[in-house]
Structure 1
Amino acid sequence: MAATCGLVVANIYYNQPLLAAIGRTFHLSDSGASLVATATQVGYTLGMLFVVPLGDMLERKRLVLLMLLGAAGCLALAAWAPSFAVLAGASVLLGLLSAVPQLLVPLAAHLAPAASRGRIVGRVMSGLLVGILLSRAVSGYVGAHFGWRTMFELGAGLMVLLVALLAWKLPTDRPTFTGSYASLMKSLLTLTREQAPLRRAALVGACLFAAFSVFWTTLAFYLEGPSFGYGSDVAGFFGLIGAFGALAAPLAGKTADARGPAYTVALGIALALAAYAVLGFGGGHVAGLVVGVLLLDVGVQATHVSNQSLIFSLVPEARSRLNTVYMTAYFIGGSVGSVLGGLAWTHGGWPGVCAVGGALALAALLASRLYGQENPSGALA
């Protein structure tokens, strides 16, 4: 499950180190090219909202295989896109069909004993997070040496191979929901209304992932600009550095099991705030960027794993839908962060990027402290 999550989620992030090259191909400004990243994240959000809930209703293995075949086709279309409009459309569909990890993470939570759920979710999430970060390193290298279209071609081939592997190895899973699709979608609203911890986790996750996306959407522009003059391979290398932060995911899950998710959420937000302080004051040097990347990735991942450990304990029979609510908010935040990052870079340069990212991390802190506090009876409001 961890390996599958990593390979599939990489589809969403291949484009980030390649944005400058894509912009040159289609004669776009930096902010215009950044819309490719936004389109993919919007598609992923739509997939989580309208497809992932089906994990409680349909047999997961068949659904996963169909989505991966569709993703392979979208990657091929992106590789051969004759215009930016075609690339943007393929990116939206690619994001939608790459929501497979959000079907597998709830399954891992379902199989895990309650006492070690955070650790198991963290282990699977570490695969997903390594995929997010290593995809940038691989993509940056391939883009610099073989062109950005080659990366999408390779991604399409990987999805075809993964379909064959999962058809052989992935077990079947019986659905738990017996109603209609309309009632399934309506239950998302019910869960959101009734579960204050879910709403708080979704708000915190959205703010912090927006802060994460602000950095990664603009990093390639910064590194290829006059301050450094590097190529896309160096931008991708920072993804490799950030992958070390994924090692924090199982540790964060284990800590959440022992000390409670609230502790690791607060710690993760504090690390993200520290990251933007380092990036703002030391981002003119490679060493400052390296330290900032590590702090930001560890902080965001620790918060994310802790939030998921919390929500999966709320209503066990609705874990796919709980994950849908949380992850939809999470990637809405990511999409907004990509847009804000592009605007901040265009109008404020690197200082503007750090100011916007830091403000979003601060918003996550305020949400975690002020939203859904306990009333005197002990119930979350």
Structure 2
Amino acid sequence: MLGTMPARPTLASPALLLMAVATGLCAGGNYFNQPLLESITEALGTTHSAAASTVTIAQVSYALGLMFLVPLGDMLPQRRLAVTLMFAAAAGQAISGFAPNIGVLMAGTAIAGLFSVAAQVLVPFAATLAAPERRGRAVGTVMSGLLVGILLARSIAGILAEFGGWSTVYRVSAGAMVIVAIALWRVLPASTPTAGQQSYGAILRSLATLVRTYPRLRTRGLLGAISYASVSVLFSTMAFLLSAPPHGLGELEIGLVGLAGVAGALAANTAGRLADRGYGPTTTAVGVVVLIASWGALAAGGSSLWWFVVGMLAIDLALNAIHITNQNIIYGLDPDARSRLNSVYMTTYFVGAASGSALGALAWTLAEWTGVCILGALLGGCAAVLWWIDLRLSRREPSPTSRSVSGT
């Protein structure tokens, strides 16, 4: 290999937990606006469509950050990069929290979304700092923080809005991110860039090289995307089902039902531990089976809230089992290109989520909940096919370190 890693510092548990908190703050900040759109419309004297556009702006900005900022993790010292990005994201949250009009809020949302990819710098950094036999656990712990942050963001935004208005959550988040960023700088060890003296252009071009060189990056990326698409079909339509008879739930009640996914997020750590013990293929297989089966429970959830909660818990557990094992595998393909591997994987993953949301809305329009469940199960079947293809590749793929492309 052209890049060589320095002696690995010990990743202490407090530092790992702090990284989990940081990823949760960064990722969750992109979801604050979703339950606040009506309040934003009234407070800023704007239209519903303008307020709703902040959701799209956050998503697009995050996608751009995944593609153009996360690869810098192989080019620059990761501690410095992650902390700098967090400060920039905090600035975006502060701009949003003090926005006098919708234009400034849009600008703040774009800045916060773009630089919130600090979370996706910290995940491969955790994998790098951890000993190889504990890599899955480290990734699982940090990803648990990220997923819990996303799931809690909407609820926390709504609660804080009750006490101080829609802008409160942005101001609190900005302060919290600054404090956590400073703490990260103090507790995380310095690291040496793994990409040598490559230019930024060369770093970006190497993304395509990585995709061509590693078939399992392609299969695991597509597996993650299809799995997330199946779950996004649920999240994009569940409010339609739960707000109508026979459930008839209000916004707060629907939000509380959504918190069932926190249990699935916390299970990410367990998936990481299983991957460390060599059970990654089995964990993926179980995840795919549960993903498909969960749609049976969700179908029954059309008339039973109990079955809906069971199905939602199962589908979150399945997604996290697949996602964490995916990351554990791709980070092992080329240790000197982990940030770039993560950029490719997470961009693919994000495209899957967006596609699933669009398809879910279409399925509901055509056949309501029955169409949604059929679509979700079909996507689960596609995930099973991809898992089978990846399993065959794993049996004949040479050792990753024998063909590292990190220096290309």
**When the two structures are superposed, what TM-score results if normalisation uses the length of structure 1?**
0.86
| Residues matched between the structures, number | 377
Match of 1:330 in 2: 349
Matched, 1:264 2:280: no
Asked if structure 2 preserves the Cα contact closer than 8 Å seen for 1:17 and 1:220, the reply is no
Q: 1:27 and 1:353 mapped to 2: Cα distance?
A: 30
Partner residue of 2:293 out of 267, 274, 277: 274
* Match status 1:128 vs 2:146: yes
Pair 1:299 & 2:318 matched:
yes
Q: Which residue does 2:92 correspond to in 1?
A: 74
After superposition, the Cα gap between the structure-2 partners of 1:220 and 1:149, relative to the gap in structure 1 and judged at 3 Å, is: farther
- 2:403 aligned partner: none
1:1-381 map, 5 Å:
1-18=19-36, 28=48, 36-79=54-97, 80=99, 82-83=101-102, 90-143=108-161, 148-177=166-195, 178-225=197-244, 227-346=246-365, 348-370=367-389, 373-374=392-393
Question: What are the superposed Cα offsets for residues 122-160 of structure 1, whole Å, 9 maximum, x if unpaired?
Answer: 122222222222223323434567654443343333323
Residues 142 and 347 of structure 1, relative CA distance in 2, 3 Å threshold: farther
Q: Separation in 2 of the partners of 1:5 and 1:218?
A: 27
Query: Structure 1 residues 230 and 18 mapped into 2: Cα distance closer, same or farther (>3 Å)?
Result: farther
- RMSD of Structure 2 on Structure 1 (CA): 3.1
Structure 2: how far apart are the matches of 1:294 and 1:174?
A: 40
Change (3 A) 1:251 1:375: closer
Do the aligned partners of residues 288 and 372 (structure 1) sit closer, same or farther apart at CA in structure 2, a change above 3 Å counting? closer
Is the CA contact (8 Å cut-off) linking 2:222 and 2:348 kept in structure 1? yes
Structure with greater Cα Rg: 2
- State the Cα distance separating 1:371 from its structure 2 match: 5.7
In 1, Cα distance between equivalents of 2:264 and 2:54: 25
1:273-305, Cα deviation, whole Å (9 max, x unpaired): 222221122133321221122101110001000
Give distance in 1, aligned partners of 2:112 and 2:311: 30
In 2, Cα distance between equivalents of 1:217 and 1:36: 17
CA apart distance, 1:90? 4.6
CA contact (8 A) 1:42 1:331 kept: no
> Aligned AA for 2:80?
R
Say whether the 8 Å CA contact 2:268–2:321 is kept in structure 1: yes
> CA separation of 1:37/1:245 partners in 2, compared to 1, >3 Å: closer, same or farther?
same
Separation of aligned partners in 2, 1:284 and 1:328: 36
Percent pairwise identity:
42
Q: Distance in 2 between matches of 1:350 and 1:16?
A: 23
Following the alignment from structure 2 to structure 1, what is the Cα–Cα distance between the partners of residues 175 and 379?
Answer: 37
Change (3 A) 1:151 1:239: farther
Cα offsets for 1:43-85 (capped at 9, x unmatched): 22221111011011112233223322322233344453734x7
- SS of 2:217's partner is helix
TM-score (norm 2): 0.81
Is the alpha carbon distance of 1:265 and 1:332 closer, same or farther for their aligned partners in structure 2, counting shifts above 3 Å? same
Quickly say closer, same or farther: Cα 1:219–1:13, change in 2 above 3 A.
Answer: farther
Distance 1:22 1:210 in 2: 29
The 1:90–1:276 alpha-carbon spacing in structure 2 relative to 1, beyond 3 Å, is farther
Whichever residue aligns with residue 173 of structure 1, its letter is S
User: What's the secondary structure of 1:230's corresponding residue?
Assistant: coil
